[in-house]
Every structure is written in structure tokens, then in C-alpha cells.
């Protein structure tokens, strides 16, 4: 026998030379299996991609949160420095304020004093307002007329003192 057998690589010849043949049902089964594996792989990769993107976003937000916490801590430190008693006293001195050593109280005759107790930790002053007395003063006859005359005199440039007597 001779070994001069030539193998033809033409598609028609290659298909005839394949030792096994596939039926149409078998080929369809293989195609379905490959499609199912492709779909499962695509779903897995899509899910993995989404999880990775979400993980990166979470890392970015954590970094931003850390930056905001650092800024907040810096602002709290700055506020603490600005509220330091030494700094406040120095600033008050610059503005012309000074500590008061001698406190003087002025007594007012017939001033209504409160009968409620004053708390020991705070200086709380209870004052009873007498709105009725104020309304009585304002409601006197001629008060409104005097004020209107003073306003008109001011507009006209006249002497207001003459009108308020």
C-alpha cells in the first residue's frame, strides 16, 4: 500500500473526512449548552462588575467622610482656640472693655420687686411689666396731636421745642 494519500483541506472534503458525525439534535444541544454557559458567565461578570463599582463608590464616600471629619475636627479646634478665655479677655481689652471691680446698684423708689426666689447659680431678675400704666400715659388727650405737630414742624424746619411744651 502506498502512503501517497492526499488530504484535501477543502471544507467539503474536511467534513467528509471527520470520523464522527453530529446529528442536528446533538448540534442544537451543544449550541444550547454553550449559550447557557455564556449567559451564566455574562450574568456573573455583570454582577461582579456592579459589586466592584459599588465597592469603589463606597471607598470614595468613606474617603470623603474621613475628609469631612478631619475638617470638622479642625473647625472644632479653631472654635476652641477662639473661645479660650485668655483670647476673649485680650479681644475685649482691645475693644476697650475692662473688668468691673466696683459694682454700684441704684435703688428706684416704688419699683415693683418680685417675690419669686432667685436661683443661687444664676443672677435672675424678675420684673413685672406695667403695660397698663404705659397705655394710660399714651392715651392722654392731646398726646397724639402733640406728636403729629412735632412731626409736621420737623418737616417744615420749625422749632420743635415750642410745640412740645
Task: Tell me, yes or no, whether 29 lies in a domain.
Answer: yes
Same domain for 42 and 85: yes
Q: Which domain holds residue 134?
A: 122-163
pLDDT tens-digit map of 23-34 = 788 888 889 999
Q: Which of 60, 83, 64 is nearest to 72 (CA)?
A: 64
Same domain for 70 and 20: yes
Same domain for 133 and 75: no
Give the C-alpha separation, 2 to 9, whole Å: 20
Task: Supply the pTM of this predicted model.
Answer: 0.39
Strands (E), 10-124: none
Q: Which residue has the higher pLDDT, 56 or 27?
A: 56
Same domain for 87 and 15: yes
Query: How many CA atoms lie within 13 Å of 3's alpha carbon, on the beta-carbon side?
Result: 0
Counting the structural domains of the chain, the total is 2
Amino acid at each position: 500500500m502506498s502512503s501517497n494519500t492526499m488530504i484535501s483541506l477543502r471544507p467539503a472534503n474536511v467534513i467528509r473526512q471527520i470520523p464522527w458525525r453530529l446529528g442536528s439534535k446533538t448540534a442544537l444541544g451543544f449550541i444550547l449548552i454553550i449559550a447557557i454557559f455564556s449567559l451564566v458567565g455574562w450574568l456573573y461578570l455583570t454582577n461582579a462588575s456592579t459589586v466592584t463599582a459599588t465597592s469603589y463608590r463606597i471607598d470614595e464616600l468613606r474617603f470623603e467622610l474621613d475628609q469631612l471629619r478631619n475638617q470638622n475636627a479642625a473647625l472644632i479646634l479653631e472654635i476652641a482656640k477662639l473661645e479660650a478665655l485668655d483670647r476673649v479677655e485680650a479681644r475685649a481689652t482691645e475693644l476697650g472693655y475692662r473688668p468691673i471691680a466696683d459694682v454700684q446698684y441704684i435703688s428706684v423708689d416704688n419699683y415693683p420687686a418680685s417675690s419669686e426666689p432667685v436661683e443661687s447659680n444664676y443672677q435672675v431678675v424678675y420684673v413685672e411689666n406695667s403695660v397698663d400704666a404705659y397705655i394710660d400715659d399714651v392715651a392722654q388727650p392731646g398726646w397724639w396731636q402733640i406728636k403729629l405737630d412735632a412731626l409736621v414742624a420737623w418737616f417744615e424746619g420749625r422749632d420743635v421745642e415750642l410745640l412740645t411744651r
